[in-house]
Structure formats: C-alpha cells, structure tokens
Amino acid sequence: GQNNLNAKLVLLGDMGAGKSSLVIRFVKGQFLEFQESTIGAAFFSQSVSVNNATVKFEIWDTAGQERYHSLAPMYYRGAAAAIIVYDITSSVFAQSQFACNPNMVMALAGNKCDLEDKRNVTAEEARIYADENGLFFLETSAKTAVNVNDIFYEIAKRLPRA
Ligand code: GTP
Ligand code: MG
C-alpha cells in the first residue's frame, strides 16, 4: 500500500572500505574482524519503519576490487539510493567516480571511525566534499555500530513517497 515502499540501494566504494561490514551490521547485527572481500556483488534486504511507513531496502553490496569495477553501473542503475563508503584511515581520499544523481538519495559514509588514532581523512574535508556533491555525510563504524542504523534511517526518511 501507500505506506510501503521498496527501495533499491547500492553500496559503492573502494576495496576494504567496509561496505559489506556496514550491511552485515545493519542486516544481521554482526561484525567480523576478517570479513571476506566481496566477489561480484552480494544481495541483502532489510526493512525499516519511518514516519508510519515501511521501507524495504533491496541492498546491492558491490565489490571494490578493481576487476569488478565494470559491474558497478549495473547495480547503480535504477537505484533509489546509494551509500558511498570510504575508510577514514586510508591515505588517499578517493573522490567518487559517481556524480550525484538528483533522482537518488545519496550518502557518504566515512567508515572505521572507531580507528581515530589512525585517521587520515578529516571529517571537515569529507563534509566539504559531501556538500559540494549533494551527498549527506556521516562517519560510521561497522565495528562499534556507530551511525550504522542511522544512515539507513536517514536515507529512508529522504526517499520520495508516492
Ligand atoms: P570489498 O568487498 O573488497 O570491496 O571490501 P568491503 O568494502 O566490503 O570491506 P569489508 O566489509 O570486507 O571490510 C574490510 C575489512 O575492514 C574487514 O577486515 C573488516 O573487519 C574491517 N572493517 C570494516 N568496517 C570496519 C570498522 O568500522 N572498523 C574497523 N576497525 N574495521 C572495519
Ligand atoms: Mg565487500
């Protein structure tokens, strides 16, 4: 009915940024120190309730490895939302190859925020990048669960309703 919505969501970002870990934290409430690198892509689904509506996310967790990059547009196409994930400890803040699509709700997740002592990307520089590109920004930790549900709830709230 009017209060139920299916939304395709895609996770994008470099290998090892923590895309799978964020999804597994959100869907299963679990975290693995030795999460295996994704091959191709993995599918998950999870529902959230916001503002008297249920949003069922159909989540495509893409593979960050270079050899799978050509597949990403296939998962990106037709998606209602995207989360671009980077690792706050990575030495290069690789700017996303995906321009913001005005028809999509897009989030930037600075993941591994539990590793403050190894931080290389400041929240300020990421926020500026997010503002310039029409993304909303949160720092997350799949390990401690900080802001993980929040990012999915915030997306659910921002999705256009029929
Ligand atoms: P690909 O599938 O290869 O693209 O990688 P990915 O982005 O899915 O990363 P993945 O979730 O496999 O995580 C990579 C490694 O980082 C794993 O060893 C995780 O345990 C670790 N990791 C993920 N998220 C966090 C986090 O928030 N904090 C810490 N400390 N480690 C994390
Ligand atoms: Mg993965």
What is the tens place of the pLDDT at every residue in 134-162? 999 999 999 999 999 999 999 999 999 86
Q: How far is the CA of 161 from the centre of ligand 1 (A)?
A: 33
**pLDDT tens per residue across span 66-110:** 899 888 888 988 999 999 999 999 987 766 556 667 889 999 999
| Ligand 1 close to Cβ of residue 83 (< 6 A) | no
Mutate which of 10, 15, 20, 21 for ligand 1 pocket (most atoms within 8 A of beta carbon): 21
- What spacing in Å lies between the alpha carbon of 131 and ligand 1's midpoint? 25
Model pTM score: 0.96
Residue nearest to atom 22 of ligand 1 (CA): 18
* Average pLDDT over all residues of the chain: 92
| pLDDT tops 90 at residue 10 | yes
CA distance to 29, 64, 118, per residue, from 45 (Å): 13, 20, 32
CB 26 within 8 A of CB 45: no
Confidence of residue 2 (pLDDT cuts 50, 70, 90): low
Task: Say if residue 23's pLDDT is above 70.
Answer: yes
Query: Residue range 17-30: average pLDDT?
Result: 98
Q: Report CA(69)–ligand 2 centroid distance (Å).
A: 13
Number of neighbouring beta carbons within 10 Å of residue 158: 15
Q: Report the DSSP beta bridge partners of residue 106.
A: 82
The DSSP bridge pattern shows strands 53-62 and 41-50 to be: antiparallel
